[in-house]
Amino acid sequence: MITGILHATFLTTDLPQACAFYEGVLGLRPDTNRPEMGFSGVWYDVGPQQQIHLMQLPSPEIGLQRPAHGGRDRHVALAVSDLAELVRRLEQAGVGYTLSKSGRTALFCRDPDDNALEFIELK
C-alpha cells in the first residue's frame, strides 16, 4: 500500500538559522510554489515528489537529551552523490558529524535545531 515518502518535516525555532544550514551548508533551494500554511516555514525539493519541510513552531522537546550519534536517534536518511563534498561543506561551516557505525559510506549530523540527518552516498 505505501509507495514512498513524500516529505519529512522538521520543527525549527529560528527559521533564518535553519535556512542558512539547509541552503548554505546543504545547498538546497526553497520551493516557492508551496501553499501558505498559517505559520512560517519553507519547503525544499530533494527529489522527484520528495521534500523537506521546515516549520517555525515552538519546540516541544526543549531540554531533551539527544544521543551524540544521530544514528541512535530518530532521523531521516538522504541520498548524496558525493559524501566527501558534504564533509568539506560541513567542516567549513563548523558542523559536527559522525560516520556511520555500520561501515557504510554514510554520515550523521544535526541541523541547528538538533534534528538528526543521515547522508548516504549513492553513486
Parse the chain into domains and list their residue ranges: 7-59+66-121
Give strand ranges (E) for 1-123. 7-12, 41-47, 50-56, 75-80, 97-99, 106-110, 116-121
pLDDT at 8: 93
Residue length, the chain?
123
pLDDT at 19: 97
Residue ranges in the chain whose pLDDT is less than 50: none
pLDDT at 58: 87
**CA angle, 106 as apex, 118 and 10 as ends, to 5°?**
10
pLDDT at 45: 93
pTM of the model as a whole: 0.89
Q: Which CATH number is 7-59+66-121 given?
A: 3.10.180.10
